[in-house]
Chain A
């Protein structure tokens, strides 16, 4: 469903993404791993059409991101990093705005909103303005807006960042629940998350792909099955004890 081919993005002399190629299919939960500034968010922004690539191309459901931006965007549900939201709107207003913009038929809007409210456990705050919500609610709301049109592709930029352990668990369960008929890409730097949610992991560092495989394969690279060690070895290039790349 997602094909990324020799993708590159330069900010002046800085190469944020360099020659990145990967693909994902329906049912995949693709974990994007990498240190901060490795190019995870940039790749996601390119996939969602927020920025344009400098070289290469990406297709979503067979449509080029560059040539059919609107069609691609309507197939994607995207939760940006830090979950930015319109703070002065109420939860309901915000969701109906998104639903309206996603061209969900008028008759279905209320139903759809209720669905995501239930799914993301937002019922208790639906009349509140967003600025009064706690961080956890904001994350879940951001996730809710990404799910409202039941997208084929879900792109989540650090969905569990800043949540307490219970909330993290809830979100992970939710992702698992959704994964069977969608293609999900999520970025994270929490390695356990990859292990518990993803069926594939890609590690990028300095804009380049360093690893592409299942979490098990990744784990097996360490004699002690320590993901942390593998991660450090891959991203820093240093040799770490017990890790055999």
Chain B
């Protein structure tokens, strides 16, 4: 009895002292960390550190997380527990780098308490988990003068951008002056803000209400946007100029852009040989896709870069999967260019590196202009070296399979994005002649000549991408239960470019933590090849069907009163034949698909066997060997 008692005391004592020591250790040693992840998930980037270094007055950051409520919730909510731990450790990193200017507070708001009230008042989202439990997971940063910036809800899906979002909060609370971006576009990317009431009124009057693109709404969080008319003589008072789809710009406007660059301006231009989101003016249907193409070649030639006319950049190894129409099966579609880190990280440019998930639609390709010298022209977004250009006409636009068929692989990466820095010559060395405003009836002069700078006075920076659609709502954003969120790195790419052009290099270097692509390359390749095989089968089937259709039509044409019965019989026979042939081909197609699937499954099985059985077998072998040796020794001794 006594022995058991002492044992119990020993156990209790050791557990208690252990708890105590562990707790002390977590307080003292909690701050020292070594981050072993390749993406440095737990380490702040230099940009964040630089912004923290600039802090001069204290900030208070309060992380609200309803932990008690989460613990009562379902298992699914546990993801959030882990995510909150991650944010917690990230915030501690912030505080550690802030020279004590960032004070942290972690709050577990319970329902109907002062804390919860404060969180909701600051604008954080509150969810009802059960009748009595509410759930809050957000961040409030407050400066000395009481200004607050918040992240209303942390969505684990947004983990890639979490550092950027927090740093942005810290940056923006102390940098209230936003940079001004001029927006020049042939598309309704930026509309007047309309109040919901006004919108309703306008709709009642039957007027079409145009909303700004989600992307430009997003831009407003960081920049002051200034809409620039497409007919403009000079561009002034902007920190950077964003040109989206410069379709049908007049010489005057192009001249204004040219002069803006000559004066050391910063330009981000999105051009596109086929902007499928351009539905504004199918001015001339006969022109086909030409109607929705845009370029700046008239002036960009002087910068050293041209968009290749009427050709698209494709790369079978970067194609995205999608449905072409509502009832077709998802397939690889050549015009969907899904750029991963192979397209970005090789260039090691802060704007695009780290981005691994970009989706371009019918992008064009740039080529360098040979005679431009002494200008730094660097690609920042390219295809793989299997990329090539292709043309598309007429029905091919609605038939991605045809495009896939005729595409041939290239040998050099195609450039989808260029960064150009340097001094240029004007595209208008002698100025331009423009019409004089007609309202000015007093004079007879119909035209006037504008002259300006013929060469750069200051170094200018230009970034160009060969797609417009990728920044449209449809391709860059998605709706989910928590509202609108970005669906890929598209918006980040443009935002990076603008940030870099407009200044704040620090914030720019934070950006996305860019989840590295860790998919199974081997399996992807097999899937890709299997897809290609099935594709061939599909072409074969449709070809066969067409042929039979033709034969049937021929038969129909040959029909007359005398042989009508015969022909009918014949066509029935043909139809049967056709159906049989198609059924056979379809089963072959299924077979091909199954083969692809199976070869993956076989790899899976094989790897499973290696991982479960190989080592045990070796062990059994070794063990048996040792046993045999011992037996031999025993036999020898006697």
List the interface of chain A (C-beta within 8 A of B). 12, 90, 123-129
Interface residues of B (CB under 8 A from A): 2, 630, 633-634, 636-638
Contacts of B636 in A (CB 8 A): 127
Q: Do A124 and B637 touch (CB < 8 A)? A: yes
Distance A125 CA – B636 CA, assembled complex (angstroms): 10
CA distance A125 to B2 in the complex (A): 45
B630, B633, B634, B638: which has the most chain A beta carbons within 10 Å? B634
Picked from A12, A123, A124, A127, the residue with its CB within 8 Å of the CB of B633 is: A127
B2 touches A127 (CB 8 A): no
Partner of B2, one of A12, A123, A124: A12
Complex interface: chain A residues within 8 A of B630 (CB): 90, 127, 129
**Additional 6 contacts, C-beta under 8 A, given A125-B637, A127-B634, A128-B637:** A12-B2, A123-B637, A124-B638, A127-B636, A127-B637, A129-B630
Closest chain A residue, CB of each to CB of B632? A127
Distance between Cα atoms of A123 and B636 in the complex (Å)? 12
How far is B630's CA from A128's CA once the two chains are assembled, in angstroms? 8
Minimum C-beta distance from B630 to chain A (A): 7
In the complex, the 4 A-B pairs of residues with the closest C-beta atoms, listed nearest first: A127-B633, A127-B634, A127-B637, A128-B634
Q: How close is A65's CB to chain B, nearest CB, in angstroms?
A: 23
> Which chain A positions have C-beta within 8 A of B638?
124
Question: Shortest Cβ distance from B345 into chain A, in angstroms?
Answer: 56
Which secondary structure dominates chain B's binding surface? helix
Residues from chain B with a CB closer than 8 A to the CB of A129 are 630
Interface CB pairs A-B, < 8 A, 15? A12-B2, A90-B630, A123-B637, A124-B637, A124-B638, A125-B637, A126-B637, A127-B630, A127-B633, A127-B634, A127-B636, A127-B637, A128-B634, A128-B637, A129-B630
Q: How far is the CA of A126 from the CA of B638 in the complex (A)?
A: 10
The residues of B that contact A125 with a CB separation of less than 8 Å are 637
- Distance (whole angstroms) from the CB of A220 to the closest CB of chain B: 45
Q: Which residue of A lies closest to B1 (CB)?
A: A12
Residue of B nearest to A132 (CB): B634
**In the complex, which residues of chain B have a beta carbon less than 8 angstroms from the beta carbon of A123?**
637
- In the assembled complex, the Cα of A127 lies from the Cα of B2 at a distance in Å of 45
How far apart sit A126 and B637, CA to CA, in the bound complex (Å)?
8
- Which B residues are in CB contact (< 8 Å) with A126? 637
Tell me the smallest distance from the CB of A95 to a CB of chain B, in Å.
Answer: 14
A contact residues around B634 at 8 Å (CB) = 127-128
**CA A124 to CA B636, docked complex, whole Å:** 10
Minimum CB–CB distance for A51 against chain B, Å = 14
- Complex contacts, B633 vs chain A, CB 8 Å: 127
Min distance, Cβ B11 to any Cβ of chain A, angstroms: 21
Minimum C-beta distance from A122 to chain B (A)? 11
Assembly CA distance A191 to B263 (angstroms): 119
Tell me, rounded to whole Å, the shortest Cβ–Cβ distance linking B632 to chain A: 9
Nearest chain A CB to B625 CB, angstrom units: 16
CB distance from A224 to the nearest CB of B (A): 48
Residue on A with the closest CB to B631? A127
State how many angstroms separate the Cβ of A126 from the closest Cβ of chain B. 6
Determine the chain B residues whose CB is within 8 A of the CB of A124 once the complex forms.
Answer: 637-638
CA distance A34 to B50 in the complex (A): 86
A127 to B637, CA, bound (A): 7
**Which B residue sits closest to A12, measured CB to CB?**
B2
Within the complex, what minimum Cβ distance (angstroms) separates B201 from chain A? 91
Q: Which residues of B contact A90 (CB under 8 A)?
A: 630
Q: How many angstroms between the C-alpha atoms of A195 and B638 in the bound complex?
A: 37
Query: In whole Å, how far is A60's beta carbon from the nearest beta carbon of chain B?
Result: 28
The answer for the CA separation of A156 and B560 in the assembled complex, in Å, is 123
> Chain A's nearest CB lies how many Å from the CB of B626?
11
How far, in Å, is B528 (CB) from chain A's closest CB? 55
Residue of B nearest to A129 (CB): B630
- B635 and chain A: residue at smallest CB distance: A127
CB A14 to nearest CB in B, in angstroms, measures 13
Q: CA separation between A123 and B634, bound complex, in Å?
A: 11
CA distance A137 to B633 in the complex (A): 18
In the complex, the chain A residue whose C-beta lies closest to that of B3 is A12
A66 to B636, CA, bound (A): 47
Query: Complex Cα distance A12/B630, Å?
Result: 48
Closest to A92 in B: B633
Name which of A124, A125, A127, A129 has the most chain B CB atoms within 10 A of its CB: A127
